[in-house]
Amino acid sequence: MPQEREYQKLKKENEVLKQLLAQIEEEKTALFEQVLQIRAEWEAAFNAITDRIFVEDINYTIIRANMAVLKDYELTPEEIVGKKCFEVFRGNNAPCLGCPVTETMVSGKPAFGEMYNPRLKGNYYVRTYPIFDRHGQVAEVVVEDISKTKKLEQELKDSENRFRHIVEQANDGILVIGEGEKIELANKTAAEITGYSLETLAGLNFFDLFDEKNQIYIKELMTSGITQGGLRVCTELEFINARGESKEAEICFTIVQDRAGTMKTYVYLRDISLTKRIENQLRKANDFLRNLIENSVDGIIAADMKGQIIIFNKSAEKLLGYTAEEAMSKVHISQLYPPGGAKEIMRRLRSADYGGVGRLEPSQFTLISKTGEEIPISISAAIIYENGKEIASFGIFTDLREKIKMEKKLQETQLQLLQSEKMASLGKLAAGVAHEINNPLGGIMIFSKMLLEDLPADDPRIGDLERICQEATRCKEIVKGLLEFARQTSYKMEPTDLNRALQQGISLLENQALFHNIRIIKDLEPNLPLIMANAGQLNQVFMNIILNAAEAMQGQGTLTVRTRLGPGEETVLIEFTDTGCGIKEEHLTRIFDPFFTTKEVGKGTGLGLAMSYGIVEKHRGRIWVKSKEGAGATFFIELPIRPEGEDISV
């Protein structure tokens, strides 16, 4: 039975051995499949490489090539695998001189070379790597075409050079801050702004560029930039640079994390010292111009081409009654002129006939105020252009009301002066004529009376002689008036109460029949001072004017007599206002001329107002009249207040 047991034992061991062999076969199959899979993956990875790669043995025979090689060289595996590299790529019968493959085979080290490839019609770059066998000998050589990589490296290098050139030539200072707040990179502009050399800036602590106050401020800004996730943070600050120069700079920070996880701070500096100075000068210039415009005595108004008012100074406010805010928000420029006025100004501005295109020399126009008042003005204007296009217009407006008033007053004064000169000349003439007429006139009157005495009472010639006497007497009165007009006699000037003189004159006249239907209003200033005058002559002036007023009212109406102090309380004013027929405009300039009268023949000599003019002038005063036909008249007399005791001959 021992043999049986031995048999069973061997049989069992045989079964175990079969199972072991089967297991080994399964593992071998699995391992082979794994190798195939790995090989497939390796082949896939090998073919996925975008660079051209192939492998050759020590005899220069190509044993494998990736898809990039086949594609770029337009080859099939059969045309390249098993062929010599120098035959495929160069068409040669032997290895090329200086071939990097040969160098790697000999040295067992990677090699690099630049070679000409007829298939690519240009140079290409290759790098070779050795593959060793188990004995440490070079068995194969991997050839990698790195032309694309080399091109990218060159492009990267060119890009870096461009970047460096841009950084170096940048108008802004650029600093790169690394770990420990050290400056890693700085350009020339940063060196110029900070006052340090490039060599000194490299490695310098960034915060050492600033004083303590600015350091605290900058750190707070940088912290806020980190908190906000790499946002660009900018500010302006003043600091003293390394050369002791005061600088105003705009500084911006950008904090980013590079690929290695290191935080980098990019700082951009811009010197705005000149800009700030220009801004300050521009601000001062603008303030000066604004003050110049606002405080101009003339109104200054500007409007855009749509008529929107954009400038309206204080004088314009005073001239037209609008506030600047009101004018610029609610008023169209055309509303400031009569209908068509604004268009007429623009027409002249665009014409070459009124000072040149775009300019208007001083011209007289009319403005309409907020209250509707028509205001005479002188305007100088211009169009503002931008790139040859009209963008606005402005005008300088001078109020002519006061000028016109002064011109009118000057005209009146000139007329009075002319009248005065005329009176002086006529006075001398009248004196001579009166004396010459008096002598024959006296003879006529004497002989007429003698003839009357000699004729009997029933003589028909008596009527004619009496008529001769009457007319001669009338001539005598005219001559007397002429003599009074031309009188050169001296009169004593005494302190005179004008109110009293007026009341005395009025009391003598108001009971006469001519004044029965005339209401006389006396508006006399109670505190009127005494003046140095000749009361008798002034009474003659007052009575003459009052009688003329009564005749102008034809014995019915209102006469107002008013006294008051003149401007500056240096003169007194007397006004006589009637409600009569008034004076024609063409007569106003002649009313004080001798012998000028509008009365019927025989009812006036035309000497009353001429004499009044002379008396007032010799009192160093002036007399004038304002009147409109059909609306009454007002005579004004202005007399100076003289110190008591002054003796003036008239």
pLDDT tier at 21, thresholds 50, 70, 90: confident
Number of domains the chain is built from? 6
DSSP letter at 631 equals S
pTM comes to 0.43
- Residue 548 in any domain: the answer is yes
- Both 438 and 530 in a single domain? no
Identity of residue 212: E
Q: Quote the pLDDT of residue 305.
A: 92
Residue 178 in this model has a pLDDT that exceeds 80: yes
Contact 475, 633 (CB under 8 A): no
In 460-544, beta strands by DSSP E: 494-496, 517-523, 531-533
Q: Give tens-digit pLDDT for 129-138.
A: 898 888 888 8
Residue 643 in this model has a pLDDT that exceeds 60: no
Q: Give tens-digit pLDDT for 331-386.
A: 999 999 999 999 999 999 999 998 899 999 999 999 999 999 999 999 999 999 99
Q: Quote the pLDDT of residue 650.
A: 38
Q: Quote the pLDDT of residue 430.
A: 67
Q: Give tens-digit pLDDT for 427-469.
A: 667 667 777 777 788 788 888 888 888 888 788 888 888 888 8
The neighbouring-strand residues paired with 364 are 378
- Residue 544 in any domain: the answer is yes
Q: Quote the pLDDT of residue 415.
A: 66
The CATH number that applies at residue 477 is 1.10.287.130
**For residue 611, what are the CA distances in angstroms to 101, 483, 531, 595?**
140, 10, 21, 10
The neighbouring-strand residues paired with 396 are 300, 380
Q: Which of 433, 484, 474 is nearest to 608 (CA)?
A: 484
Q: Quote the pLDDT of residue 646.
A: 44
- Residue 152 in any domain: the answer is no
Contact 468, 443 (CB under 8 A): no
Last residue of a domain, one of 397, 423, 446: 397
- Both 390 and 411 in a single domain? no
Q: Give tens-digit pLDDT for 410-429.
A: 776 776 666 566 656 666 67
Neighbours of 18 (CB within 10 A): 10
Q: Which of 60, 83, 58, 59 is nearest to 70 (CA)?
A: 83
- Both 534 and 421 in a single domain? no
> What integer is the mean pLDDT of 110-119?
79
pLDDT tier at 644, thresholds 50, 70, 90: very low
How many contiguous H segments (helices) and E segments (strands) does the chain have? 18, 22
Helix (H) or strand (E) holding 237: strand 233-240
Would you put residue 226 in left (φ > 0), alpha (ψ -120 to 50) or beta?
alpha
- Both 580 and 592 in a single domain? yes
- Residue 213 in any domain: the answer is yes
- Locus of tokens 């004083």: 211
The CATH number that applies at residue 304 is 3.30.450.20
- Both 613 and 504 in a single domain? yes
The angle subtended at Cα 223 by Cα 178 and Cα 272, nearest 5°, is 80
Residue with the bigger pLDDT between 560 and 436: it is 560
φ, ψ of residue 73 to 5 degrees: the values are: -95, 0
- Locus of tokens 């240096």: 570
Which of 299-313, 485-499, 577-591 is predicted with the least confidence, judged by mean pLDDT?
485-499
Both tokens of residue 155?
Answer: 């492009």
Q: Which domain holds residue 427?
A: 400-488
Which of 182-186, 385-389, 644-648 is predicted with the least confidence, judged by mean pLDDT?
644-648
Sign of the CA dihedral 616, 622, 627, 633?
negative
Sign of the CA dihedral 492, 497, 499, 505?
negative
Q: Quote the pLDDT of residue 489.
A: 45
Residue 300 in this model has a pLDDT that exceeds 90: yes
- Both 134 and 228 in a single domain? no
